[in-house]
């Protein structure tokens, strides 16, 4: 058995989900052949629900997440998202800290 090699997308780009556009239709989860797009559970509420019967602390609705170790970079989630909430993000852009805008 040969050792796994990194997929080409990990060197320069990877899919990112824009939580502002995502409507939780889960089409990306259905489309991913690697099972790399997952629906995370909201473990925070499960931990404290017995102490928060009034629900004073709202639970955040979670969006699908991408497990990059499983992602092969096929792009089906990017092209198949009906809301266009998934796009390619440059690895270099993510690694570069935001620069302040002059005069602000």
Q: Is residue 67 part of a domain?
A: yes
Q: How many domains does the chain have?
A: 1
Predicted pLDDT of residue 27: 96
Predicted pLDDT of residue 96: 44
CB 77 within 8 A of CB 15: yes
Q: What is the CATH number of the domain that holds 41?
A: 3.30.70.20
**Rounded CA gap, 19 and 62, in Å?**
9
Predicted pLDDT of residue 94: 52
Q: Is residue 32 part of a domain?
A: yes
Domain that holds residue 31: 12-90
Q: Is residue 66 part of a domain?
A: yes
Q: Is residue 54 part of a domain?
A: yes
Q: Is residue 4 part of a domain?
A: no
| Residue partners of 9: CB distance under 8 A and separation at least 6 | 15, 71, 72, 73
Q: Is residue 102 part of a domain?
A: no
Q: Is residue 1 part of a domain?
A: no
CB 37 within 8 A of CB 64: yes
Q: In DSSP terms, which residues pair with 87 in a beta bridge?
A: 16
Q: Tokens 């852009």, residue?
A: 93
**pTM confidence score:** 0.63
Distance of CA 48 to the CA centre of its chain: 25
**Rounded CA gap, 3 and 59, in Å?**
41
At residue 16, what are phi and psi to the nearest 5 degrees? Answer: -130, 140
The string of pLDDT tens digits covering residues 64-103 is 889 999 999 999 999 999 999 999 998 765 544 444 444 5
The string of pLDDT tens digits covering residues 17-44 is 998 999 989 999 999 999 999 987 665 5
Q: Is residue 98 part of a domain?
A: no
């Amino acid at each position: 058995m040969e050792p796994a090699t990194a997929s080409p997308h990990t060197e320069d780009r990877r899919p990112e989900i824009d939580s502002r556009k995502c409507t939780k239709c889960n089409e990306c989860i259905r489309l991913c052949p690697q099972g790399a797009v997952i629906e995370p559970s909201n473990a925070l509420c499960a931990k404290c629900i017995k102490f928060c019967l009034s629900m004073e602390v709202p639970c955040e609705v979670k969006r699908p997440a991408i497990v990059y170790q499983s992602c092969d970079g096929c792009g089906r989630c990017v092209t198949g998202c009906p809301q266009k909430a998934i796009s390619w993000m440059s690895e270099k852009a993510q690694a570069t800290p935001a620069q302040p805008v002059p005069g602000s």
